Amino acid sequence: MKSFFKRRLVLARLAALFALPLLTLRRAHAQSEALDAMVAKITGGAPLRSGRVKLEIPVLADNGNSVSLRVAVDSPMTPASYVKSIHLIAPKNPRPNVAAFFFGVGAGRAQISTRIRLSGSQGVLAIAALSDGSFWSATAEVAVTVSACWDAS
């Protein structure tokens, strides 16, 4: 009897051991599919290349309510070659589409600074849409800490 229970226990543990990564993988997979769809909405299916975009954001955020960031895209910003827009995505936010910024003719640099909300630690994605129809991106991992004290004030 004893060994039976033991065997049961071992089996259960083994099953749990395998199920856990499977579950997280499945979640990660679902999330990446959702992210792909969001990206496709911006790129229209065009390839997303990494590079030309610089995303400056703290590695460790003091508070997820306000995380300062700067996005700068390498572009001459001339009528022949310019950045049309910059898009910010925080995949783990309840609404991952954070913002989109559009540059007009008088915009001197393809650069923006703002403060965003991050619902937990995650990789923030910045996408730049260029006038030649190409799309460039950068990601940055941000660890978000939760304050030590519960505040009901």
Partner 1 sequence: MSLRRLSLGLFAALVAGTAVAQTAVRPAPLKSGIEFTGAEVRALQNDEFANPAMLWVLRGTALWTQPAGKDNRSCASCHGDATTGMKSVATHYPQIDKSSGSLINLEGRIQQCRERRQNASPLKYESEELLGLTAFVRMQSRGMPLAISIDGPARAYFERGRDFYYKRVGQMNLACAHCHQDNWGKKLGPEIISQGHGNPYPGYRLEWQTMGSLHRRFRSCLSGVRAEMLPQGAPEYLDLELYLAWRSGNLPVETPGVRR
Partner 2 sequence: MAARIAVPANARRGDNIEIRVAIQHPMETGYRTDDNGTAIPKNVINKLACRYNGVEVFRAEMGSGISANPYLSFFIVAGSSGELRFDWVDDSGVAGSERAAILVAG
Identity of residue 82? Y
Terminal CA-CA length for the chain = 56
Comparing CB distances to partner 2, the nearer of 38 and 48 is 38
Give the residue from 138, 135, 130 showing the smallest Cα distance to 88: 138
Give the one residue of 37, 50, 115, 132 binding partner 2; rule: CB under 8 A: 115
Buried b (16+ CB within 10 A) or exposed e, 108-125: eebbbeeebebeeebebb
Cβ 17 to partner 2 shortest distance, Å: 35
Identify residues 41-80 at the interface with partner 2 (CB under 8 A). 65-67
Name beta bridge partners: 23.
none
Looking at residue 31, the DSSP 8-state letter turns out to be: H
Backbone phi, then psi, for 22, in 5-degree steps? -60, -45
Specify the stretch interacting with partner 1 by CB under 8 A; choose among 35-43, 59-67, 101-109, 128-136: 59-67
Cβ 152 to partner 2 shortest distance, Å: 9
Give the one residue of 24, 32, 65, 97 binding partner 1; rule: CB under 8 A: 65
Comparing CB distances to partner 2, the nearer of 103 and 136 is 103
The yes or no reply on residue 146 touching partner 1 (CB under 8 A) is yes
Find the angle CA(108)-CA(109)-CA(115) to the nearest 5 degrees. 120
Give the one residue of 63, 70, 97, 102 binding partner 1; rule: CB under 8 A: 63
Residues binding partner 1 (CB under 8 A): 58, 60-63, 65-68, 145-153
